[in-house]
Homo-oligomer: A and B are copies of this chain.
């Protein structure tokens, strides 16, 4: 069975793909707002993982909607949640199994029980979150067994997180993006895989 995994190139979505690949035929999918956006580092991460990779572009109005939500609420959470749900919705029209790297400790994006049920019922797909039952320290422990990972603040690590493009658009509108986004937000990027022996 094929599974379409939402992939940012970061630790969590990469580990979700690795765990799922033991029972599903995994395809990685990265969404961007703009055709121009470079995803070279994400593509290298996908290549290191060895799964088929698809770059996808949201329809044009989504970035504007996301930025409006950030500016009107003062926080990025609702916008990130909306964009993540949109990505899952699009995947659910193409795959019978869709997945992401949501962890137990995550707050955003995180679909509620009702939102999961609605996604599955309306699309007929199964929505899998292989890391949902794992607290952060165990995600980190298992990730360290399988993945070489670089860490850094948003902006210093180039991955497929939605945040970077939303920040840029907030700045393009003459707003100070620092007012809306958390000061410290550690990002990760997979740079290679580890072959386990024995």
Please report the C-alpha to C-alpha distance between residue A186 and residue B189 in the assembled complex, in whole angstroms: 44
Minimum CB–CB distance from A40 to chain B (whole Å) comes to 30
Q: Are the CB atoms of B133 and A129 closer together than 8 Å?
A: yes
Given A22-B22, A116-B104: A135 and B127 interface contact (C-beta under 8 Å): yes
Q: Are the CB atoms of B23 and A145 closer together than 8 Å?
A: yes
Q: Are the CB atoms of B23 and A142 closer together than 8 Å?
A: yes
A134 within 8 A of B: yes
A132 within 8 A of B: yes
Minimum CB–CB distance from A121 to chain B (whole Å) comes to 11
A137 within 8 A of B: yes
Q: Are the CB atoms of B127 and A130 closer together than 8 Å?
A: no
* Contact residues of A between 84 and 134, Cβ < 8 Å to B: 97, 102, 104, 116, 120, 126-134
Please report the C-alpha to C-alpha distance between residue A97 and residue B141 in the assembled complex, in whole angstroms: 12
Chain B residue nearest to A126 (CB atoms) is B138
Which 8 pairs, one residue from A and one from B, show the smallest C-beta to C-beta distance?
Answer: A129-B133, A132-B133, A132-B132, A126-B138, A23-B142, A126-B135, A130-B133, A128-B134
